[in-house]
Structure 1
Amino acid sequence: MEENNQKEKKWYHFFKLKDFQKVSMLNSTFSIFFNLLPFWGGLLFTISIGKWTDWSRFYENGEFYLYSVSLISSAYLIYHNNKIKTSDINSFFSIISLILIVIVSFLYASLSSNPDPQINIFIKWASIIAILCAVPIFFHSQLVANRNSPNVVEKRKDEQETIINGIN
């Protein structure tokens, strides 16, 4: 019976989110929703008037590039402000964010400065990859921003609980 309770407790503990993780998920959801609001509005409008053709109308002019740069730029500021030294993980994410900002901005500039319509497979996949990279980078930055400094009392309590569980 006690073994069964420990399994249930471990299962529950695995899915239990910490407060900073909940706040990070909520902040990310709101930010992504509002950053992509023109997309959601356009999608809703297109569906409601029955003029659906394909997804290309939502990325052909570089909209996903702009959404991606917006999210990654916000993430960069968080990583940059939370780095402790030039060789920590936040510095790595800061550098990666800057590189992605430059690449995606260049892709948008090349698309918007070309007068000929360019609906092709590269734009489609580059747009999708850009937004798929931007969302996790942004979410991770929210985790970094909302993570509290270490709570020594809570950490010691967890260590004592682990020791007690190990003894039993």
Structure 2
Amino acid sequence: MSVDQPGDVAAVRERLRAETTVPGLLGATARAYVELLDAPACTISRVIGDLLVDLMQHQKSGKPDRLGHGYLISDYPLTRLVIEERQPQTVSQNDPEPDPNEVKLLQELGYDALLMVAIEAEDGAWGLVEVYGEKGRHFNDEEVELAQDLAGEVGEILRQLERPK
């Protein structure tokens, strides 16, 4: 993990709280995950029934290329678990028994590992954060906890932004 200073996390939280629009918040959130977890990319998707639609992506290099792409949640059991149970999950191509659908998608995207956390709304999961790893990376417990804490904060901010004024 690249963040050794609690001040870095506090600064990110401040930046997120300063956002006044949902698109601004999602963009800042994707950048924050890439920065804090020293990851090559992060995608934030919206849960709409059994559909997951990519809304925001931030990459260290290159242009986002899968925005608007949709996936059936039921095709990805591990993703469904994250969304339904709000339990973060990690996947690596090097896992002893990785989810074959998740690994296939990782290979298509050119990554080795994935950390998934749900963004909660008042009535279930609002969305999904996917942080990617490369070069044999595995996300550790500290990184998973940080990702989950940050998603909780983002969920609170989203609820405030989406409330009718």
Q: TM-score range by the shorter chain?
A: under 0.3
Say which one has the larger Rg: 1
Which has the higher relative contact order, 1 or 2, with Cα contacts under 8 A spaced 6 or more apart? 1
Compute the TM-score of the two structures, normalised by the length of structure 1: 0.24
Q: Which has the higher helix share?
A: 1
Q: Which has the higher strand share?
A: 2
Compute the TM-score of the two structures, normalised by the length of structure 2: 0.24
